[in-house]
Amino acid sequence: MPSDLLIRGGTVVLPGVGAVSADVAISGETIDAIGARLPGAREEIDAHGLHVLPGVIDAHVHFNEPGRTDWEGWATGTRALAAGGATACIEMPLNAHPPTVDAAAFDAKLAAASAAAHVDFALWGGLVPGARLEELAERGVAGFKAFMCDSGIEDFPAADPDTLADGMQRAAGLGLPVAVHAENPAQLREPTGTGWRDFVASRPVEAELDAIAAALALAEETGCALHVVHVSTGEGVELVGEARARGVDATCETCPHYLTLTEDDLETLGTRAKCAPPLRTAAAREKLWQHLGAGHVALVASDHSPCPPAMKEGSFTEAWGGIAGCQSLLALLLDAARVPLATIAALTSHNVAARFALPKARLQPGADADLVLVDMRDRHAPELLDRHGLSPFAGRALRGRVVRTLVRGTTVFHDGRIVAAPHGRLITPTKGPA
C-alpha cells in the first residue's frame, strides 16, 4: 500500500548520522520509512533545498491557562511553538492559577491544553510545600519543578531545603526527575537602584552556583534524578558535570538568551530582556558555547515566560522578569551556527525526549511523524505569533526559515501561518528518566 505522505528530496538530519539526502514516508501519524528514492505516496511535499529536522521539544515553557488568561495562553503559545519548528513542549506548573500541584489542578490544565494546543505537550508538576507528588505522578507528569528562591508568584512558594529534600526522596521513589530554579535566596539582595546594572548585581553568579551545588548534594543523597534549568554560566555547567562524574544522575539546560545576548544588551533592549538568573557577560556566554559544543549541556530550552505588556513597563525593579522566546529557539541556534545541525537536533529534540522518557523525537520507522522543514538559505525576521510579541528577538533577522511543521503527520504550520485546528495531545513518560 502506498504511504499517505512523502516528503521528497530533503536533507534529513538523522541522530548519530548527520545530514543525508533522503525521502521520508508517512502513513497516518507515524513514519513509514526513511531512504533514498522511496516509492510515491498519495500526497508529496517537495523538500528539495530544505532541511528536515526532528520537531523541537521545548522542555521549558510557561503558559498561563487556566487562571491567568490575560497572560500567554495555550492557543497563542503553541502557535508560536509550531511557527518556530516545535512539535511538543513540556509546560511548567506556574504561572497557571491554580498551579499544577495536585490532581485537580492537573486535570484543569489538561482540559485547557487539550482544547487549544497546536502541538503535543507534557506537563511538569509543582514541588512546593504540601504538593501531592504521588497523585501528580499517577496523572503522568514528566517530573517536578521546584524554585529554590521566591518564584514571583504568590501561589507557588519556594521549596525550602527540607521541602526539597523530602520532594527529591519521593520523586526518586516515583522514578521521576526534579527540575530546579537554582538561586540561593540568602545571596539575592534588594537592588540599590532601578537600572539594569542594579538588577544584575542583585542576582550574582554566586547565588546560582551555590544553589546548584546544594541541589546536586541533595540529588546525590536521595538518588533523585536532577535537572537544573536555565543555567547561565559555564561554571554552573561544570558543577553538574563534576556531579555526573561522581555518579549523580544530573543534567542541565541553558537558554537561547544566554547564548545570544549579554548583560550589556539590557541597555538597549530594556526590560524585555529581564530574566532570572539575569543575562551574564560576554565571557560567560562564550564559555556556555564551549560547553555546548563539548556535549556538556543536555538541552536548550526557551524558558518562554511572557506577561501582559503593562507588567513589562517601568524600571528593572518593577518589571516582570521573564523572556518571550519559544518561537525563536531553533532559529537562534541555526543562526549562530556554532555547533553542527545534528548537535542542534540533539539539544532541542533527541536529548529532551531521552532525558524525560517521552515517546518522541525518533526519526525512524514507527515513530511519530514530528518534523520541521527549514530553508537554511533564507534569512529574515519572522512575524511572532505568541500573544504579546514582547520578545527581545522581535525584528531580528535570523538564518533558517521554518517552512512547514508537522505534528504526527499533520501540517500545523506552513509558510507563515497556522493551517490546522488544534489537535495537540498529552504525552507522558514511558519509563524513568535517562
- Give me the helix-helix angle, 205-222 and 161-174, nearest 10°: 50
**% residues pLDDT > 70 (the chain):** 100
Identify the CATH homologous superfamily for domain 55-355: Metal-dependent hydrolases (3.20.20.140)
- pLDDT score for 417: 97
**pLDDT (tens digit per residue) in 141-154:** 999 999 999 999 99
- pLDDT score for 160: 97
Whether the CB-CB separation of 177 and 432 falls below 8 Å is answered with: no
Average pLDDT in the chain: 97
Is 178 strand, coil or helix?
A: strand
Q: If pLDDT is split at 50, 70 and 90, which confidence band does 15 have?
A: confident
Q: What CATH number does the domain located at 5-52+364-418 have?
A: 2.30.40.10
Residue 57, pLDDT > 80, answer yes
Looking at 195-269, list the stretches that DSSP marks H as alpha helix, in order from N- to C-terminal side. 196-202, 205-222, 234-245, 256-260, 266-269
Is 260 strand, coil or helix?
A: helix
**pLDDT (tens digit per residue) in 166-217:** 999 999 999 999 999 999 999 999 999 999 999 999 999 999 999 999 999 9
Residue 321, pLDDT > 90, answer yes
Give residue limits of the domains in the chain. Answer: 5-52+364-418, 55-355
- pLDDT score for 431: 79
- pLDDT score for 20: 96
pTM of the model: 0.98
Under DSSP, the state recorded for 170 is: H
| 415: alpha, beta or left? (left if phi > 0; alpha if psi -120 to 50) | left
Residue 164, pLDDT > 80, answer yes
